[in-house]
């Protein structure tokens, strides 16, 4: 049975209400969480996993939804902010009373994402615990990630870079794949279909040859045909049987009864 992952795009978005989350350097947190979240969903679609997006309502709406579908994992995506514009880095959270599974999963995801961010000299702010509602109210293992600081000019520059965001989404996906041991889907392309049909044809031909060989042995024992080894020649077995021969063999079988 495939795993079920619920992805939460933090905050509601400009078109869904006033809760845009943090705002800074010309960016809105809700826009960024949606971009990153959709990137994760797109990448996860390549794996054997059921992906659901939490409704962008209240925090309780989000956790109630995850609980109602019995998700195996809940991931909440956010962007950090601070009055101190020099604050920077990446961090992850599980609940204060998180299960050992949640803690183990957090470590895998955290490590995977930081392995991507280190090339940008992003500070690792650590694996932390907090009493956030989306972590407290979910019944399954859950993690909340804070992806840089929207208030920091240097972080914001990265958050405006589509290539960076794409790489970030991929690293988060890789973390989920390793955490939940997800398997790639087997996609049957045209070449695969051709190969499959070729395999079927070969199997059918092999079956026909074995059937023909067996029939030759039986007919030979009955004295209906002679020189069975000649008839078992591969070319003879693959060649269409002439109508006259087919009817002659049937006639002899009937006469033998």
Helix (H, G, I), strand (E, B) or coil at 88: coil
The reply to whether 190 belongs to the active site is: no
Integer Cα distance of 87 and 80 in angstroms: 9
Please give the angle made by the CA atoms of 212, 213 and 214, to the nearest 5 degrees: 90
DSSP-derived secondary structure letter, 242: P
CB 70 within 8 A of CB 207: no
Integer Cα distance of 117 and 129 in angstroms: 21
Helix (H, G, I), strand (E, B) or coil at 173: helix
Catalytic residue among 43, 91, 112, 146: 146
Name every residue whose Cβ is closer than 8 Å to that of residue 75 and which is 6 or more positions away in sequence: 5, 6, 7, 8, 40, 109, 142, 143, 144, 145, 172, 176
Helix (H, G, I), strand (E, B) or coil at 69: coil
Integer Cα distance of 3 and 71 in angstroms: 8
Catalytically active residues are: 146
């Amino acid at each position: 049975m495939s795993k079920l992952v619920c992805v939460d795009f933090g905050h509601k978005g400009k078109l869904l209400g006033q809760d845009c989350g943090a705002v800074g350097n010309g960016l809105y947190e809700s826009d960024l969480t949606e971009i990153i979240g959709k990137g994760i969903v797109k990448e996860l679609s390549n794996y054997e996993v059921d992906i659901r997006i939490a409704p962008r309502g209240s925090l309780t709406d989000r956790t109630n939804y995850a609980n109602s579908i019995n998700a195996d994992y809940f991931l909440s995506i956010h962007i950090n902010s601070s009055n101190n514009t020099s604050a920077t880095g990446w961090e992850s959270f599980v609940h204060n009373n998180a299960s050992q599974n949640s803690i183990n999963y957090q470590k895998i995801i955290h490590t995977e994402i930081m392995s991507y961010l280190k090339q940008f000299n992003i500070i690792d702010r650590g694996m932390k615990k907090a009493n956030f509602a989306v972590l407290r109210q979910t019944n399954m293992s859950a993690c909340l990630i804070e992806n840089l600081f929207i208030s920091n000019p240097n972080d914001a520059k990265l958050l405006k870079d589509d290539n960076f965001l794409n790489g970030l989404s991929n690293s988060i996906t890789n973390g989920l794949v390793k955490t939940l041991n997800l398997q790639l889907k087997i996609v049957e392309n045209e070449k695969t279909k051709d190969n499959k049909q070729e395999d079927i044809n070969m199997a059918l031909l092999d079956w026909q040859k074995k059937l023909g060989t067996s029939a030759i042995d039986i007919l030979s024992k009955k004295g209906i045909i002679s020189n069975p080894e000649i008839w078992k020649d591969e070319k003879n077995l693959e060649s269409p049987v002439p109508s006259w021969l087919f009817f002659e063999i049937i006639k002899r079988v009937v006469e033998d009864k």
